[in-house]
Structure 1
Amino acid sequence: TGLGLTKTGSLDVPPAADENLAGWYEAGTTPGEPGTAIVAGHVDNADGPAVFYDLGALTRGSTIEVDRRDGGVAVFTVDAVEVYAAKDFPDEKVYGAARRPELRVITCGGGYSRGTGYQGNVVVFAHLTGSR
């Protein structure tokens, strides 16, 4: 699904009720095109695990396939998986421009508090290595 920005300027998220739905930042780069494409989804919801529950288990060299609206598939190879506290989130590193096609996959992560939720984010950094 398409994502925009919230009123405070942060990346919006897909509806929590649809645990298998990931979103792409529509005003940004299309996955597979030059630049930094952003995809976000939930790690879990009130019913249990969600689409990016296992995101933190990816390792360098893992592959991610993104189905594109044009019917193609963009294949990315993971460069790194990092966890950031919300107060230390590196906006420029995650959202900054890139010359080659890159992908950032983001979900909640870090410590969890029942009162405030997750304290940070898991971010996967990847670059395009193929398409079909």
Structure 2
Amino acid sequence: MRGAGNTAIAAVTAVSLCCGAWLLHSGAETHAPPQPSAAQARSDGPRRTGRPVPALPPSAPDRVRIPSIHVDAPLTGLALTASGSLDVPPAEKKNLAGWYEAGATPGETGTAIVAGHVDNADGPAVFYDLGALRKGSTVEVDRRDGRVAVFTVDAVEVYRARDFPDAKVYGAADRPELRVITCGGGFTKSTGYQGNVVVFAHLTGSR
């Protein structure tokens, strides 16, 4: 059962997404996924421009689309592992993303979480190009109630695993917000990916 939509997720990380098996075989120097530039970071909190968009009622999501980086993927439900980290979609299904079922559903008030692999043993996966996303880009989420929640990207940031800001990424929000998470922050053969790329977005429409 889904928990309260605006409840913060305590001490959750997404590092279990970060194996990098493909880079071990193909070479990190030539095949590393794009990373966000400093220009895409948010330094002073979210800007609130324009008229507020009404939140949508709770409804589980079925699909996520990010047109500017050619993402169009089904969503599966995710829970927490026994260690308290966010679970991940099956690695062999490279075009599958997941959403955190105990948090907010995309479009309702609160922080909704979507996560997916950057690659698998066979090559790039669903969020390989997430680090190339830019502020102002659109993320669309198809919901089971037939509505599409439309989000606008506020920032794209990268964090080393040891510096991952749990409260900033997973904390409660007073409007409908979305986080999209994958691996990033550099790669080594001994540790795999060293951190996470995080997209911050807020609801700007629905249809």
What TM-score, normalized to structure 2? 0.63
Distance in 1 (alpha carbons) for counterparts of 2:177 and 2:82: 26
1:103 equivalent among 162, 175, 178? 178
Count residues with an aligned counterpart. 132
2:109 corresponds in structure 1 to: 34
Q: Which has the larger radius of gyration?
A: 2
Distance in 2 (CA, whole Å) between partners of 1:10 and 1:72 is 30
Structure number having the greater strand percentage? 1
Match among 72, 75, 79 for residue 154 of structure 2 = 79
1:43 aligns with 2:107: no
In the alignment, residue 45 of structure 1 is paired with which amino acid? N
Structure 1 alignment gaps of length 5 or more = none
- Distance across 1 between alignment mates of 2:141 and 2:93: 18
Percent of residue pairs identical: 85
For structure 2, the 5+ residue unaligned runs are 1-75
Deviation at 1:69, TM superposition (A): 2.1
- 2:88 matched to which residue of 1? 13
* SS of corresponding position for 1:108: strand
Q: Distance in 2 between matches of 1:67 and 1:4?
A: 20
Counterpart amino acid of residue 131 in structure 1: S
Residue 90 in structure 1 maps to residue 168 in structure 2: no
Q: What amino acid maps onto 2:204 in structure 1?
A: T
2:95 is paired with a residue whose SS is coil
Q: Tell me by how many angstroms 1:70 deviates.
A: 1.9
Equivalent residue for 2:199?
A: 124
In structure 2, how many angstroms separate the alpha carbons of the residues matched to 1:69 and 1:53?
26
Q: State the Cα distance separating 1:111 from its structure 2 match.
A: 1.1
TM-superposed CA distance for 1:115, in Å, is: 2.7
For residue 10 of structure 1, report the CA deviation from its aligned partner. Answer: 1.0
Cα distance in structure 1, aligned partners of 2:192 and 2:91? 13
1:76-126 Cα offsets, whole Å, 9 max, x none, are 000000000000000000000001000000001111122321100000000
Residue 71 of structure 1: CA displacement?
2.1
Secondary structure, aligned partner of 1:87: helix
Which of 1 and 2 has higher RCO (CA within 8 Å, sep 6+)?
Answer: 2
Structure with greater proportional helix content: 2
Q: Aligned letter for 1:48? A: G
Q: SS of the counterpart of 1:97?
A: coil
Partner of 2:141 in structure 1?
66
